[in-house]
Amino acid sequence: MDLKEHIALKQLPKHIAIIMDGNGRWAKQQGLIRAIGHENGTKSVRQVVEASAELGIQNLTLYAFSTENWNRPKLEVQTLMKLLVSSLKKEIKTLQDNNIKLTAIGNLGTLPKKVYKELHEVIDNTKHNTHMTLTLALSYGSREELLNTVKEISIKVKNNIISVEKIDESIINEHLYTRNLPDVDLLIRTSGEQRISNFLLWQIAYAELYFTQVLWPDFTKQHLYEAIIEYQKRERRFGKTSEQLS
């Protein structure tokens, strides 16, 4: 049965973020090299992008490469960067056809020139699309993002552009890489790990967390539907009581 029919389309999460984990273990299980795991991971990326666009999810953010991932063997980093370029080249048409805007968050200046160039080309070509925003977290670390935010605001205070009294949550939001995105409603992590791993620490303050054993290359549309159905079963109280909500 298609789980999609059990989703309440009027109560969709506005922002889904995914920690795509388990490519390496998936490959190992099949007796294959890690690169093949990542390659198959791109198929799951396609599945979740397509499913989200079909449902009408407005924002999807994928953790594709963390600041810590630079410490992986050089060859693996190269594989991931190559996959990124080839996926961008391959998917630009799909993004356009489906009116999807691509954005990226992270320390993008550290990406290899070729990746940076391709990425910005796709970002630029899709910037007027309105159906969904797909954000890739690349060379992303949440603490680094928060550090940058503190520095940027401090400079503005020093130059009398903002007063200390004016600093509130919205000022912080406006200085994060995610300044144009709403808070995360649903955070999914695959492969059985139950960690946040320095991903969107500020933005997940009230997010529902969903952990699944499924390894990322095995993650399909149906798995995404399952996560959304679970999200819709939960009561989000934002610190209030059940009675206050009803």
CA atoms within 13 A on the CB side of 179: 10
| Smallest gap from residue 66 Cβ to ligand FPP (A) | 7
Give min distance, CB of 143 to ligand FPP, in A. 18
Specify which residues 128 forms β-bridges with: none
Closest residue by beta carbon to ligand FPP? 24
Question: Could you give the CA distance from residue 228 to residue 60 in angstroms, rounded to a whole number?
Answer: 13
Burial label for 244, CB within 10 Å (0-12, 13-18, 19+), is exposed
194 burial level (CB within 10 Å; 0-12, 13-18, 19+): exposed
Asked if 223 contacts 212 with a C-beta cutoff of 8 angstroms, the reply is yes
Q: Are 85 and 138 in contact (CB under 8 A)?
A: no
Q: Which of 2, 21, 183, 198 is catalytic?
A: 21
In the complex with ligand FPP, which residue's Cβ is closer, 80 or 207?
Answer: 80
Is residue 25 involved in binding ligand FPP (CB under 6 A)? Answer: yes
Q: Is 21 a catalytic residue?
A: yes
Instruction: Kindly calculate the radius of gyration of the chain based on its CA atoms and give it in whole angstroms.
Output: 19
Residue of 52, 67, 87, 203 that binds ligand FPP (CB under 6 A): 87
Give residues 197-236 in contact with ligand FPP (rule: CB under 6 A): 216
- Binding residue for ligand FPP, selected from 12, 35, 45, 132, defined by CB under 6 A: 45
- What's phi and psi for 16, nearest 5 deg? -110, 135
SS3 (DSSP) at 101? strand
Residue from 23, 133, 139, 149 touching ligand FPP (CB under 6 A): that is 23
Q: Is 119 in the site for ligand FPP (CB under 6 A)?
A: no
Catalytic annotation present for 2: no
**In the bound complex, what is the minimum distance in angstroms from residue 5's beta carbon to ligand FPP?**
28
Give the footprint of ligand FPP on this chain (CB under 6 A).
Answer: 20-25, 38, 41-42, 45, 62, 64, 69, 80, 83-84, 87, 136, 191, 216
Annotated catalytic residues are 21, 69
